[in-house]
Chains A and B, each alone.
Chain A
Amino acid sequence: MATRSLIPSGDFRTTYAADTTIFPTITSRNFAIFGILLACFAPYVFSNYWLSISIQIGIFAIAALGLNVLVGFTGQISIGHAAFFLLGAFTSAYISNNAPIPVFFAIPFAGLVTALVGLIFGVPAARLKGLYLAIATLAAQYILLDFFSRAEWFSGGSVPASAEPFSIFGYMLRGDRQYFYVVLAYLIVSYLLVTNLMRTRDGRALIAIRDHYLSAEIMGINLSKYRTLSFGIAAFFAGIAGALYAHYQLVVSQEGFGIERSVLFLAMVIIGGTGSVMGTLMGTAFVVLLPETMEWISLELKGSAIDRALELNTNITFLREIAIGLIIIAFLMFEPDGLAHRWRQIKAYWKLYPFSH
């Protein structure tokens, strides 16, 4: 019964506690801590442009994590995730503008409000599956967007709503450099929370529902409760991410948060690896960085020998869009299990070198 394990020989566990750690080995844990420490230096190394890209990755990775709980771990589907993201953004902006609550508290509060709304939209989810559920969540997207354009008191209607900058106890954080740490902290905490969730009772119940809902029910798991709960959790992280985004941009508008953004969130989850916490981060980075990379390539191409030979001129822009689409298609064909799976393969390769198994 050879089961592939990357735990080095001689690494024995003598307590159950040592066998239920987040990271499989001490080295992998140290690497993660080292990675976080490196990330702390990012604001001093990165240009403003790259700093803004990393903040975006951080924020979207939190939202995508929520979606992964729903899609990857519970086996449900949602194409209304962007609407919950936007709801979190508007809620946090509204609270920080209209109530004497510092932004520090407004962000988690916006998460809770979004989670409540998510639970409401999650109720039909307990009874629907597959394509039917997809359509139901599409309805959620349109209902919420319609609400935002009508409720001017809440969202400012056609005028973008303004949001207060981030503050803790009167101390105002200004600029990308300081905001980077806020996002980093939220990112780490969110990923820890979800990792913990997935190794305890309710997380296991979600995965059990995904793998075999009939036997999950016989094991005492209330299907309706957990399917609805999963929507609540997904909406919570979308709300947190949206709130972070609002206080980063300082204005919130509906622009760019239609159905295409919802699909992009799904792409992040699928490319990163459904049912993988760290994969979500990789997938988000991939989806955010891909257009940037293609932009860079097309800029390099402009005026080069290839450009002149093929007379591309302005067509480069269109080629870029096509290339992004092609890369995503190729990715899904050759890497259906996502980046997380590829990462495991790479680790196995180095671990087992020069043998292949």
Chain B
Amino acid sequence: MNSILLATLVLFAISSFYFGRSKIKKVALVRSIEPKALPKFYGYYQALWCSIPAFLIISFWTFFEPIILKNLIESRIQSMSLNELSKDELNLIYSQIVSFSQGTFTGQISNGIKSGVETYQSLLSVSQGAKIVLFFCAIIIASLFSFNQINKNVHARDSVEKIFTIILFLSSAAAILTTIGIIVSLLFETIQFFTKINPLDFFFGLNWSPQKAFMSDPANMTAQEAKDLREAFGAVPLFAGTAFIAFIAMCVAVPIGLYSGIYLAEYASNKQRKWGKPIIEILAGVPTVVYGFFAALTVGPFFRIIGENLGINVSSESALAAGLVMGVMIIPFVSSLSDDVINAVPQSLREGSYALGATKSETIKKVVFPAALPGIVGSILLAVSRAIGETMIVVMAAGLAANLTINPLEATTTITTQIVMILVGDQEFTSAKTQAAFALGLTLFVLTLILNFIALRIVNKYREKYD
């Protein structure tokens, strides 16, 4: 349906272009006036006026028609039903209705659904009809308007360019829309989650076992169930596990990344730089799922075998394996950022130090590094934020059980792992478990946002200092 309308629209727009262009020539000839812009701009002008309002109508319908229809149908089902239906049940009935009317549903349907299908189809045809009528009205009215404007010899190029600039602005606002979308979708579920679970229990509870949480009717919940529910969503083990694995990762990435960054910036000859930098950057280009595979199938078993030989019990999914591999993943990140930061330190400082008879390493340790420190700290913060948001490595190699432990040889779990564990597979949107995943997502989002914000500020301030 939409594709037909869009094709129609394109045809209209193209013909509008030629129409507008010839129209202004005629106007100019008849009234012997000079057009204010080149004829083609009048073509664009006519085409834009013809297509934009109609396009907006199509997009509006595409976005909101399903939402509005769903609400209408659901309230109808609700009013027809004898007992109160849960949101899940409504969802199910609605999706049955939709798939049946699209002809993809196979199986038995009840009379209730049959009547729902009829309502749905009649509503749909009303809505589609309204869309088509509005669509053509928009084309006609807008075209008449712009036709009239061309008759008045408006400055078409200015108008066209203004519309163009507005479109550009809207594209850049897409980023803001994305952020709003993230916040809204996370916040909505999180608030619902916190109406069931006390935020304090979530942020300070020490026990994470969402599989224990069976939401029954809040009104007649037994004391045991209420207690279970309260104790099911204590996220401290996840925060601790995330921080712990990120810490291990940084223990690997910071020294190696920093030293290689320093070497590449200060010691390496041009040829070494030309080869060394891209090879290290390969590590940055390897997809994280590959690291996860590497951690789970090579590094984890390797540690376990070593542990067996030493008589230590090492879990095959250990924080150490995940942290180590994550550290390897972050090496190029730290290395290239610190390389940049060190290169930004002015040469005059190095010369000042050399002129005093300092060796290269003394100059680096005592002059360049302290001067670059703020930038390096910023880079490390960015790396930390990347480590805590990393998903695949920990999903594949860190384990699923929420252990509050500081033993790197045991399995631990992280925020991201739990989000994936909860949301992959079958899920009902309303269960506290699913909403917990969104609450974790929001926590992660806010956490990384704060880290990035601080880090970017530090780095930018540092750059200004030496610019």
A-B interaction: no
Query: What is the interface of chain B, defined by CB distance below 8 A to chain A?
Result: none
Query: What is the interface of chain A, defined by CB distance below 8 A to chain B?
Result: none
